[in-house]
Every structure is written in C-alpha cells, then in structure tokens.
Structure 1
Amino acid sequence: MAELSLILREIIGPVFVMMLIGYLIQIKYQLDLSTLAKINIYFLAPGFIFNTMYRAEFSGMFFIKVLSFFVLFVAIIFLISMIVGKVLKLDDNLRTLFTNSTIFFNSGNYGIPVNALVFQGDPLATSIQVVALTFQNMFLFSYGIFSIRASEKGKLKGLLGFFRMPVLYGLVLGIILNYFNVPLPNMVLVPAGYVANAMVGMALFTIGAQMATIKLTKGLRLVYLSVLIRLIGGPIIAYFMIVIFGLEGMTAQALLIASAMPTSVNSSVIAQEYSRDSAFATQTVMFSTIASAITVTGVVYLARLLF
C-alpha cells in the first residue's frame, strides 16, 4: 500500500497536474490545438531527440541486445493489434490509431521517473530505460507519423511527408555528432537542453488541452481494448520473452517494468496533427494513464517477486 501511495504521489501526481493545467487553460482560453501540436512536432520533438541522442552513452553490444528485445516486443504487439483491427473490421485510419496506441508507450516522462524510483538511479537499469526511450522516440516520430499520413493520404504521400519531418534530421544529426564525438559549444548545447526540458511538460499540457475538447462517447469498447493490450498484454508478452531469453535480475526487472508503461502522450500529439480521429488517440492516453496507477504498481511488485 505504501508503494502504491508513493507511485501515485511521485509519478502519477505530477503527470496529472500538468494535464490538469492544460485542461483548465483550454477551457478558459480555447487555444488552437493544431498550433500546440505543431509546436510539439516541429520544434520540441526534434530538439528533444537531438539532445537525447547527442548526450547518450551506450555500450554498443548492450544497446543492440536491449534494442533487439524492444523491437521484437513491439513487433509482437503490432501483429496482435493488427489482427484485432482486422477482426473488428476497422477502417485503415482507425486501425492505424488503434495499433499505434498499443505499440507506443510512455518511456520518457512516465517510464524514466518510474525506473528511477524503483531502481534508485542504478546505471544499468537507467540505461535500459534510456534505450527504450530512444527506440520509442525513433519509432514514434518515424513510423508513427508515416503510418497515420499513409492511412489518410496514401503511402507515397506519407513517405514524402515523413522525409519533410525535422525529427528525422534531429535524430540523424544527434547520432552522427555523438558517434564522432563532435564537441558542441554552449551556444548550441544550452538551447538544446532548454528545448529538451520543455518537451515533457508541453506534451502533457497539450494532452490536457485536448481532453478539454473531447466528449466521451458511449462506445468506448475499442479504447478499453487498446488499454487492455497495452497495460496487461504488454507485460505478459515481455515476461515470456524474458523467460525464453533467460534474462535475470535487474535487467529482467527493468525490461518488464518498461513494458508496462501507458500509451505515449506523443501518439496523441501526432494524431492531433495528422489524423481526423484524434479523439480516439487522446482517450486511449487518458484511460491508459489513469489505469496505469494500478497496473504499473502491480508489475513493479511482480518484477521484484519473479526476478
């Protein structure tokens, strides 16, 4: 009970405070949500990804192993979600949003604080979460955007639109400068840090503002199904992968906990910018974040018990 209270106070609390601020300001001032989404996608996200990739410190082999785990993990969830979408006969756009809501999880502003709380800043556990964050950001702002644009405008236009996205160039530039150990002056590093630090708060503010415009419908079955796959199915799949791969100790714990995070806030942000059904994306973020107060606590307990 004490651990549940601690997670609610230290992790869920700050997340919902920022969302509440966005919600209240949207009700009061009726902000332009499209503009908020553009600020996130065209300014904050590229800066955040560049800053993260430039400053990251990874052992090559460790990075490959952990990255391989998350690639396979996401691929399995992707296949399950696509099958569910086909069975339910969802249209292309809604099926894409449904799939994105299950494969993109909140590794950053939710996952990193949880990791730090559980493992007390242990370098190994932290590095696992950073790899998860790196992969999710790369995947979200590449495939995530492409998939939505493709479902709306066709694959060719979606691909061309992706190559116009600044996040791609922020990612590539950050990796290249990091790999070749290119020193950057404070004139660049300090603003990059400012932008990176603003990303989490602005993303949460935006999702809160989006929630203020949404009227919950009675037909929330698809939202609940998405939340079930993300919060329950994700950890179950990760557990069997960990057992099959023979992983143990802190590595196994960190991977299991990382797999249990709620739907990424940024999946809703890109849906707001590119999709006509952004309400579904926002509702999955909202419900999965609320439900994760219980499910993440349970996964943390099981991770310690099992590994």
Structure 2
Amino acid sequence: MSEFLFILTNVMLPIAIIVLIGYVMQLKLQLDRPTLGKLMINYIMPGFIFMNLYNTDIDFSLLLYILMFLFMFAVISYIVSRVIAAISGVKEEHKVLFTNSSLFYNAGNYGVPVNDLVFKSDPFAMSVQVMMVVFQNIIAFSYGVFVLSAENVGKFKALLGYFKMPIFYGLFLGLLFNYFNVGLPEPILSSLDYIRNAMIGMVLFILGTQITGIKFKKLRMTAFAATAVKLLIIPALALPLLLLFNVDGVVAQAILITTAMPASVNSSVIAQQYSKDPEYAAEIVMMSTLLSAVTVPLVIYTALNMF
C-alpha cells in the first residue's frame, strides 16, 4: 500500500498539477490550442526525440525487437477491440472510433512524463518510451487517418503527410547520428538540450489546454465500454504477451505502463476532421483521461513488481 501511495503522490500528483494549471490557464486566457499543438508536434517533440535517441546507447537489435512487438500487439489489440465492439452493440459508424481509442494511446504528453518520473529520468527507459511515441504517431497519422479519410484525402496523400512531420526527422536523424557516432557542435547540443528539458512541463500544460476543448453532449454506454477496454483490457493483453516474448526488466515495465495510458487526444483530433460523430471520440478521450488517475498507478505498481 505504501508503494502504491508513493506512486500516487510522486508520479501522478505532479502530472495532475501541471495538467490542471494548463486547464485553468486555458479557461482564463483562451489560448490558441491549435498553435500550442503545432508547437508540440513541430518543435518540442522532434527536439526531445532527437536528443534522447542521439544520447542513448541504443541496442539496434533490441530496438527492432521492440517495434516488432508493438506491431504485433497493435494487431491483437485491433482484433480484440473489434470483437468487443461487435458484442457491445456499437453502431457501425462508431466502430472505427471505438477501435482507434484502443490503438492510439497517449504515449507522448502523458506517457513521457510518467516514464520520466517512474524511472527517474533514466535515458534507456526514455529511449523505449520514445520508440512507443514514434510508433503511436506512425499508426495514428497513417492507419488512423486512412480509415477515416479515404473518401476525402486518399491514403497515399495521408501517408505522405506523415513524412512531412518533423517528428519523423527527429527520429530518423537521432538514430542515424547515433549509429554513425556523428559529433555535433556544442552550441547545437546546448540548444537542443534546452528544448528537451522543456518537454515535460510543456506537454503536460498543453494536455491541460486540450482537455478543455473536448466537449460532448451525453455519455453513451458504448463509450464507457471503449474506456474500459483501453484502461483495463489493453494492458491486461500486454502482460501475457510480454511474458511470452520474454521481454523483461525496464523494457517490459516501460511498455506495460505505456499501454495503460488513456486514449490519445489524436484520436479525437482525427475524428474532429474526418468523422461524422467526433463527439463519440471526445467522450472516450475525456473518460479515459479522468479514470486513468485510478488505473495507471495500479498498472505502474504491477509493472514494477512483476518485471
């Protein structure tokens, strides 16, 4: 019990305080949320990803193994969520949104701060987290857009859109410079370090501002079902799969904890642009974010004691 309370007070509470500050500031000042989102995606996150990959001693065979695991886990999560959607009587127009809420979790502006606090800024643990952030962005802005925007944009154009994102180049150059041991001038490293250090506070603040923009008219039972799938069933699926693949230590802990993150705001953002009922996605994001304050500490406790 003491360890669980420690997680609540030393991991979840600091996160909640900054998110609350962002929420209140947004209500008071009416900040431009799209601009803040662009700031995170195009400035903070690419610099953060680059520096973590550049400075970490990466085992590239382990990296490939992690990505293969995440891909297989995404496929299993998709199948399970589709089955549950059918059993739960989810309407046809909501099935994609129901499934997306399971596939797209908040590995970035929620998962990164959790990782930083749980593992005490361990660069190896953060490199695993970065892989999950990148993987989440890839499927959110490729598959996630494909399934909702085929009629409007086209799959090829949506795929090209991902390769225009600075996050992709932060990943690519970070891995490339690490692999070939490319040295960078000290002024460049210092400036990138400042960006990396701004990451935690900024993304949590931005998460708080984003939550104020999630509005919904009523709570539907199938949205509750989607929230339960995301917060309970998805991490429960990850646990035996990690054991089956013999993934252990910090890698297993970081992956399991991140699978317990709430539905990503990206799923709501994509739905706002491409779905006929974006309120449904917003309901799931809001409920999963609020209820994760209870479920995430439980998963952290489980991860730290099982691996």
Q: Structures share a fold, TM > 0.5?
A: yes
> 1:130 corresponds to which residue?
127
Q: Name the residue aligned to 1:147.
A: 143
1:130 partner letter: S
Shift of 1:13: 1.1
Counterpart of 1:2 in structure 2 is 2
What is the aligned partner in structure 2 of residue 12 from structure 1? 12
Measure how far apart 1:73 and its partner are: 1.7
Shift in alpha-carbon separation, 1:13–1:38, aligned structure 2, 3 A: same
TM-score (norm 1): 0.80
Asked if 1:71 corresponds to 2:67, the answer is: no
Query: What CA distance in whole angstroms lies between the structure 2 residues aligned with 1:236 and 1:147?
Result: 24
Q: Deviations over 1:210-264 (max 9, x none)?
A: 2223334323434422321222112221222134335567765555444333334
Note if contact 1:104-1:136 (Cα within 8 Å) is conserved in structure 2: no
Quote the offset at 1:179 in angstroms.
Answer: 0.7
Question: How much has 1:181 moved relative to structure 2?
Answer: 0.4
Distance 1:299-1:182 versus aligned 2 partners, 3 A rule: same
Amino acid paired to 1:262: P
Q: Mark the runs of 5 or more structure 1 residues left unpaired by the alignment.
A: none
Call closer, same or farther: CA 1:176–1:95 in 2, change over 3 Å: farther
Query: Does the aligned pair in 2 maintain the 1:129–1:258 contact within 8 Å?
Result: no
Q: Distance in 2 between matches of 1:186 and 1:264?
A: 36
TM-score (norm 2): 0.80
Q: 1:275 to 1:191 in 2, by over 3 A?
A: farther
| 1:99 alignment counterpart | 99
Name the counterpart of 2:241.
241
**Distance of aligned partners of 1:160 and 1:118 in 2 relative to their CA distance in 1, 3 Å threshold:** closer
Q: Secondary structure at the match of 2:142?
A: helix
CA contact (8 A) 2:77 2:102 kept: yes
Matches for 1:178-257 after TM superposition, within 5 Å: 178-246=178-246, 255-257=255-257
The one-letter amino acid paired with 1:99 is: T
8 Å CA contact retained: 1:107, 1:129: no
Tell whether the 8 Å contact from 2:234 to 2:259 is kept in structure 1 after alignment. yes
Deviation, 1:165, is 1.7
CA distance in 2, matches of 1:210, 1:176: 33
Q: Please report how far the alpha carbon of residue 177 of structure 1 lies from its aligned counterpart in structure 2 after TM superposition.
A: 0.8
User: Quick one: distance in 2 between partners of 1:301 and 1:25?
Assistant: 32
| 1:169 corresponds to | 169
Could you tell me the percent identity over the aligned residues?
38
Q: Displacement, 1:273?
A: 8.7
Tell me if structure 2 keeps the 8 A contact 1:82–1:99: yes
Equivalent residue letter for 2:52:
T
Secondary structure of 2:52's aligned partner: helix
Answer whether contact 2:268 2:285 (CA < 8 A) is retained.
Answer: no
> Separation in 1 of the partners of 2:183 and 2:76?
39
- Of residues 7-16 and 73-82 in structure 1, the stretch that sits farther from structure 2 once superposed is 73-82
- Judge conservation of contact 1:105–1:136 (CA < 8 Å) in 2: no
Q: Write the distance in 1 (CA, Å) between the matches of 2:248 and 2:117.
A: 20
Flag the 1:3–1:306 CA change in 2: closer, same or farther, 3 A.
closer
- The 8 Å contact of residues 34 and 272 in structure 1, kept in 2 or not, is answered as no
Structural mapping, 1:51-70, within 5 Å:
51-70=51-70
1:88 and 2:90 correspond: yes
Matched, 1:23 2:23: yes
Cα distance in 2 between the residues matched to 1:268 and 1:252: 25
Q: Is the contact between residue 149 and residue 161 of structure 1 (CA under 8 Å) also seen in structure 2?
A: no
- Kept in 1, the 8 Å contact 2:140–2:267? The answer is no
Q: Quote the offset at 1:30 in angstroms.
A: 1.3
Cα separation, 1, equivalents of 2:32 and 2:113? 30
Quote how far apart the aligned CAs of 1:270 are: 5.6
What are the ranges of 5 or more consecutive residues in structure 2 without an aligned counterpart?
Answer: none
